[in-house]
Amino acid sequence: MIEVLVVIFGMIGFFFALVIFHARRSMAYIYCSATISAWEARLFPEARLRELADAPGVVNIFAALDDTDYRQQLAGIQREGEVDMIEVENAFRDNSNSRYLEILKMVPKERKETIRRVLQRAEVWDLKAIVTAIHNKTPKEERLKELMPSPTMPRERLEMLASAENFEQLLEFLKESEYFSVLSEALGEYEERGLIPLLSAFDRYYYTSLWREVLRVKAQRSILKSLVGCEIDIVNLKLILRLKREGVNPEEIDRYLIRPSHMLTEGMLRAMAVAEDIRSAVDVVSRTPYGKILLEVLPQIEAQGLSAADRVLDEMQLKVFRWLALTKLFSIAPVLSYIRLKENEMKNLRAIIRLKVDKVEPQKIKETIVKVQKIEF
């Protein structure tokens, strides 16, 4: 009898300790999630974006943004005459980076490195811009204008990289960095195939290193696999459709894809790569959630180009991120969801301002808005 009681109380103690352990891990995300929720409430809803699209001119858009968190960064932007879109982009990026740095400070230590890896997207984008500029022999003073502020790489470092005369000097500047081997290994293909292998190498490195970081720590792993896996699938889908449209051969398409994929099997990726055209490629994944939404907009894709595919895939990714953020409230999901929502807001605002400068009619501007769909439980 005593032995039975010992076992029972031992089991109770074990389960109690397990509950306390999981509660403590969740508590670490409570403050983070509460702060993120407050920030998210300040993001532009679709109705507000549509109002900006209807604004008489770009001056009115800037006036409306003066009542938002962007006011400080946009204060020095010229609002009449010719608008410098690079300055506008950098202002939006400075605003978002201030948020991202706050996120890095408050996210629990167990996944701080993961978030830093996610935010490295900006420095990878800058490296690709520098590589493209060297390829195109763009003057060094012009290159600096194309660089976006990064939350993970100092401006001085970016300026030094942008000053490289050629790929050999860029490699010298990248010595001791994680990007040295990425560029050095891809340069062999550059001589034979041009710029695409270089740009693709940076993208593949970003996502494979992020995926390794996701798997490195057990905490939040299943949630992160769903979020990052969804993004990798969508990046691969966009890449296949774009290269298919450009007539790139299947072997080359396969070489540029990011592995491992998530919901897309290896067989699906290979079948899409060898498909005769975009319609055939979409048919390959018709039974997946991605394929279903692509089939719905296939007439638009064939009539308007791949922007329609990009838009619905982006909207799907936002929906997946929002769903996990709402159903896994005290986890890393709200953090990644906010980062994606913030990036989407900047993308929409930048597009609205650029199209308004180009005097595009409001209805056409509204059609470009990437929407955040409502989550129904």
pLDDT at 18: 37
pLDDT at 374 over 90: no
Residue with the two structure tokens 């929407």: 371
- How far CA 273 is from CA of 70, 208, 238, in Å, comes to 42, 20, 12
Residue 333 binned pLDDT confidence (cut-offs 50, 70, 90):
very high
Whole-angstrom Cα distance, residue 97 to residue 277? 40
pLDDT at 16 over 50: no
- Per-residue pLDDT of 217-274, as tens digits, reads 999 999 999 999 999 999 999 999 999 999 999 999 999 999 999 999 999 999 999 9
**Does the pTM exceed 0.85?**
yes
pLDDT at 17: 38
CA torsion through residues 146, 203, 309, 298, sign:
positive
pLDDT at 344 over 90: yes
Count the helix, strand and coil residues of the chain and give each as a percent rounded to the nearest 5: 75, 0, 25
- Of all residues in the chain, the percent with pLDDT exceeding 90 is 82
Residue with the two structure tokens 């994944």: 285
Strand ranges inside the chain, DSSP E: none
Q: Kindly state the DSSP code that residue 138 receives in the 8-state scheme.
A: -
pLDDT at 141: 85
pLDDT at 82: 85
- Per-residue pLDDT of 97-148, as tens digits, reads 999 999 999 999 999 999 999 999 999 999 999 999 999 999 988 888 889 8
Residue/partner pairs of 112-120 with CB below 8 Å, 24 or more apart: 113/213, 114/210, 114/213, 114/214, 114/217, 114/220, 114/224, 114/332, 115/332, 115/335, 115/336, 116/152, 117/209, 117/210, 117/213, 118/210, 118/336, 118/339, 119/151, 119/152, 119/339, 120/152, 120/206, 120/210
Residue 26 binned pLDDT confidence (cut-offs 50, 70, 90):
low
Residue 8 binned pLDDT confidence (cut-offs 50, 70, 90):
low
Size of the chain in residues: 377
Q: Three-class SS of residue 310? A: helix
First vs last C-alpha separation in the chain: 48
Residue with the two structure tokens 């983070």: 32
Instruction: For residue 46, give the H/E element and its range.
Output: helix 46-53
Select the more confidently predicted residue: 7 or 8.
8
Burial class for 348, CB neighbours closer than 10 Å (0-12, 13-18, 19+): buried
pLDDT at 76: 87
Residue with the two structure tokens 């894809």: 257
pLDDT at 192: 86
pLDDT at 145: 84
Residue with the two structure tokens 């006036």: 63
CB neighbour list of residue 189: distance below 8 Å, 6 or more residues apart: 197, 198
Domains of the chain plus CATH, in order, are 1-83+329-376 (1.10.132), 84-219 (no CATH)
Q: Which two tokens stand for residue 222?
A: 């299943």
Q: Which two tokens stand for residue 184?
A: 């050095």
Q: Which two tokens stand for residue 262?
A: 């998530």
Whole-angstrom Cα distance, residue 69 to residue 89? 15
pLDDT at 3: 56
Residue with the two structure tokens 């990644």: 336
- Per-residue pLDDT of 281-323, as tens digits, reads 999 999 999 999 999 999 999 888 999 999 999 999 999 999 9
- Per-residue pLDDT of 170-197, as tens digits, reads 999 999 999 999 999 999 899 888 899 9
